[in-house]
Amino acid sequence: MTASNSTAHPQKQVSPRLVPYLVVGLLLVQALLLGYLAIRQSPNANEPGHLAAGVSNWQLGRFELYRVNPPLVRMVGALPVVLSEVKTDWSEFHDGPGSRPVFTIGPDFIKTNGERSFWLMTLARWACIPFSLIGSLVCFFWARALYGEVSGLLALTIWCFSPNILAHGAFITPDAGATAMAVTAAWLFWRWLQHPTWGRVVAAGCVLGLAELTKSTLILFFGLWPCLWFIWIWLRRSENVKPAAWRQGFQLAVLLLLALHILNLGYGYDGSFRPLGSYEFVSATLGRTATDTNSGQTGNRFQGTWLEKIPVPLPAQYVIGIDVQKQDFERERQTFFRGKLYSHGFWYYYLYALAIKVPLGTWLLALLAAACTVSQIWRGQWGQWRDEIILLAPLILILVFVSSETDYNAHLRYILPIFPFAIIWISKSALIVTSFKSYRSLVIAVPLLWSVASSLWVYPYSLAYFNELIGGPSQGYRHLINSNLDWGQDLHDLKRWLDRHPSSEPFYLAYYGLFAPQV
């Protein structure tokens, strides 16, 4: 479905000659913003471990380190580092149920390479910038296809200047890479639904497999896509269109099997198809009787049942990583929320984080998009509702799934994959300008400029962005901490300050990180 036959209001046309220059210009600006952040910021608390794990993937062909995350993003980041004759220290490498030696090996990596480790980290970060640029292009193409050229440019601009995308797009942690690959896979799936050709099956299947290699949360797509296909087929039939359901169903099966093959191939089929009963789980969810998640006990609730002999069509370290991540949430940890520490999380934690860490200008555009939707419903214009189900279903599923984990909350980045889907839908607000002819583009331009200016005002401290609703970044510490505010990424700024103030003694440092800051 194209914008020309699905939009409720015709958009003001943009010169076809101008659009490529605008797109390239925005991509260039985003790349420069990310590139500078990659140089300026010191490694965050998790990056040394991710980089060391990526190096181990290449040099050792093993996937135990940082197994709570699939390896694609860190392997991309580690590739130029491996080619730069990096020094390694694997003396602390060990494996066992629930073990996470990466939090020792990561700091050892920094210590072994000394000051050069910061240059190596910069190379790794630069190598991961293309993930964010891919996300930019998909936001543009999908929004343009749904709502028109102006909406495409609007989505692209929101994405490029989003403080949360800028913040995480400059790290080698997998959140931004997973976000970009998730929306790319979903876009290709939507294109296959529209025109189910074998070429699109291959494209969607391969990219879904790559997306699965970025973050285990995206395993939800294996269940979501068949459901969306069924809904799509049912809605098409209700419109007196009879698609070849059996043929498409076969294509979908091939698509999912291809994605599963890519996922296993990313691990070199290491431990794939192990019987379910052969695993030693450490989480209470998958273990048989483990109740004290800090005790180190192992178990397997599937042993002794008919399920124990079923081969698991996933890499062993992928399965173990999910178990270890689940244990990480189950063990006793404190959640900081609005100035207080709690022994539990909150189902609305991420909604609150979105409310205060997304620019208010973007929220205004979201309200305009909602108004446009209400207007379409009132007028009986449902041209895009089937497409919007495909667009919004991943957003809703990921948000509900992550929010349902209420044992512990800490990081907005856990729901970062919902951002591109929300941004594309928000770009729908460009359709409403024709209803306000006296103001025209100002209805969209003012909140967009506010959003961009608010983000750039805080840059290069994008990770610490908080909107004006709570008083900006200076008040953020009263509401959220950890990777929402301070992830140990500003040590370079501290060094510059100390160089300008050499007599600042005695000096005390409260530091959120794992490696020795004197490096």
Which residues neighbour 321 within 8 Å (Cβ) at sequence distance 6 or greater? 67, 68, 69, 70, 216
Q: What is the pLDDT of residue 519?
A: 67
Evaluate if residue 8 carries a pLDDT over 70.
no
Nearest by Cα to 425 from 460, 462, 464, 385:
385
Q: What is the pLDDT of residue 100?
A: 93
Evaluate if residue 437 carries a pLDDT over 80.
no
In this structure, what token pair is assigned to residue 56? 């181990």
Q: Could you write out the DSSP letters of every residue in 367-432?
A: HHHHHHHHHHHHHT--TTHHHHHHHHHHHHHHHHHHHT--S----GGGGGGGHHHHHHHHGGGGGG
**Distance between CA 423 and CA 139 in Å, rounded?**
8
Is residue 375, in this structure, part of any structural domain at all? yes
Evaluate if residue 290 carries a pLDDT over 90.
no
Dihedrals phi, psi of 14, to nearest 5 degrees = -105, 140
Q: What is the pLDDT of residue 514?
A: 82
Which residues neighbour 62 within 8 Å (Cβ) at sequence distance 6 or greater? 56
Q: What is the pLDDT of residue 235?
A: 85
What is the pLDDT averaged over residues 18-35?
A: 97
Is residue 337, in this structure, part of any structural domain at all? no
pLDDT digits (tens, 9 = 90+) for 101-114: 999 999 999 999 99
Is residue 128, in this structure, part of any structural domain at all? yes
Cβ–Cβ contacts within 10 Å for residue 25, how many?
A: 11
List the domain range (segments joined by +) for residue 424. 3-268+347-464
Q: Could you write out the DSSP letters of every residue in 292-342?
A: -TTS---B-TTTTSGGGGSBPSS-HHHHHHHHHHHHHHHS--PEEETTEEE
Q: How confident is the model at residue 242 (pLDDT cuts 50, 70, 90)?
A: low
Evaluate if residue 6 carries a pLDDT over 50.
no
In this structure, what token pair is assigned to residue 330? 């189950």
**Distance between CA 168 and CA 131 in Å, rounded?**
11
Q: What is the pLDDT of residue 3?
A: 45
**Distance between CA 374 and CA 379 in Å, rounded?**
9
Q: Reduce the DSSP state of residue 275 to 3 states and report it.
A: strand
Q: What is the pLDDT of residue 2?
A: 44
Specify the higher pLDDT residue, 496 or 152. Answer: 152
In this structure, what token pair is assigned to residue 42? 């010191």
Specify the higher pLDDT residue, 198 or 493. Answer: 198
Evaluate if residue 132 carries a pLDDT over 80.
yes
User: Quick one: what percent of the chain has pLDDT higher than 90?
Assistant: 79
In this structure, what token pair is assigned to residue 150? 């102006």
Q: What is the pLDDT of residue 439?
A: 63
Is residue 286, in this structure, part of any structural domain at all? no
Q: What is the pLDDT of residue 293?
A: 46
Evaluate if residue 241 carries a pLDDT over 80.
no
The mean pLDDT value of the chain amounts to 92
Evaluate if residue 4 carries a pLDDT over 50.
no
pLDDT digits (tens, 9 = 90+) for 48-74: 999 999 999 999 999 999 999 999 999
Q: What is the pLDDT of residue 495?
A: 86
The CA distances from residue 378 to 369, 375, 426, in Å, are 14, 5, 19
Place of tokens 């969810």: 285
**Distance between CA 61 and CA 6 in Å, rounded?**
49
Total-model pTM: 0.94
Inter-residue contact 335 to 349 (CB < 8 Å): yes
DSSP 118: H
Q: What is the pLDDT of residue 237?
A: 74
What is the pLDDT averaged over residues 262-279?
A: 97
Q: What is the pLDDT of residue 239?
A: 63
Evaluate if residue 280 carries a pLDDT over 90.
yes
Is residue 225, in this structure, part of any structural domain at all? yes
The number of helix segments (H) and strand segments (E) in the chain equals 19, 2
Evaluate if residue 291 carries a pLDDT over 70.
no
Helix axes 442-458, 360-379, angle to 10 degrees: 150
Q: Could you write out the DSSP letters of every residue in 129-197?
A: HHHHHHHHHHHHHHHHHHH-HHHHHHHHHHHHH-HHHHHHHTSSSTHHHHHHHHHHHHHHHHHHHHS--
Q: How confident is the model at residue 240 (pLDDT cuts 50, 70, 90)?
A: low
Strand partners, 340: 337
Tally of domains within the chain: 1
Is residue 516, in this structure, part of any structural domain at all? no
Evaluate if residue 330 carries a pLDDT over 60.
yes
pLDDT digits (tens, 9 = 90+) for 444-489: 999 999 999 999 999 999 999 999 999 999 999 999 999 999 999 9
Evaluate if residue 84 carries a pLDDT over 80.
yes
State the Cα angle at 135 between 71 and 374, rounded to 5°.
125
Q: What is the pLDDT of residue 1?
A: 41
User: Quick one: what percent of the chain has pLDDT higher than 70?
Assistant: 93
Is residue 178, in this structure, part of any structural domain at all? yes
What is the pLDDT averaged over residues 158-172?
A: 99
Specify the higher pLDDT residue, 292 or 126. Answer: 126
Dihedrals phi, psi of 477, to nearest 5 degrees = -60, -15
Q: Could you write out the DSSP letters of every residue in 441-452?
A: THHHHHHHHHHH
Sign of the alpha-carbon dihedral angle for 4, 445, 131, 476:
negative
Inter-residue contact 372 to 8 (CB < 8 Å): yes
Q: What is the pLDDT of residue 436?
A: 52
Nearest by Cα to 47 from 504, 375, 431, 513:
513
**Distance between CA 269 and CA 259 in Å, rounded?**
13
Evaluate if residue 13 carries a pLDDT over 70.
no
pLDDT digits (tens, 9 = 90+) for 353-380: 999 999 999 999 999 999 999 888 888 7
**Distance between CA 81 and CA 79 in Å, rounded?**
5
Q: Could you write out the DSSP letters of every residue in 212-264?
A: HTT-GGGGGHHHHHHHHHHHHHHHHHHTT----HHHHHHHHHHHHHHHHHHHH
What is the pLDDT averaged over residues 287-316?
A: 81
Evaluate if residue 180 carries a pLDDT over 90.
yes
Is residue 273, in this structure, part of any structural domain at all? no
Q: What is the pLDDT of residue 292?
A: 47
